[in-house]
Amino acid sequence: MSVDKFAYNIDDILDGIKSKDSNTRTESAKILGSQDDSRAIDALIKALKDRTVQVRLAAASSLRHFKNIQVAKALVKALEDENEKVAEAAIDSLVELGQLSIQAIEP
């Protein structure tokens, strides 16, 4: 199933990622990965610190779609997540980001 980036109101999805319901936050994180909006980046980076593993996992996976150094640096930090699957998703996303990943770990 393909997520159509025009099928969602970005403001509604940004509200959803702040929801008290973890399922709503998780689905919002998944959808934000398909949105061409810089606000999605900030929301997903914040979601990497969510208390719920599934939200962090969705955020780490969704961030692969945003090719910028801020994202790469956040994903490098996510490598230290207490949950192995979140760290693995961060690795997968960093691989997708390619050269930006190297720049994120250089001093």
pLDDT single digits (tens) 70-100: 999 999 999 999 999 999 999 999 999 988 7
Give long-range contacts, CB 8 A cutoff, 24+ apart: 34-39.
Answer: 34/3, 34/4, 34/5, 34/62, 34/65, 35/5, 35/8, 35/10, 36/5, 37/10, 39/10, 39/14
Mean pLDDT across the stretch 51-77?
Answer: 96
Residue 2: pLDDT band (50, 70, 90) is very low
> What's the predicted TM-score (pTM) here?
0.87
pLDDT value at residue 49? 98
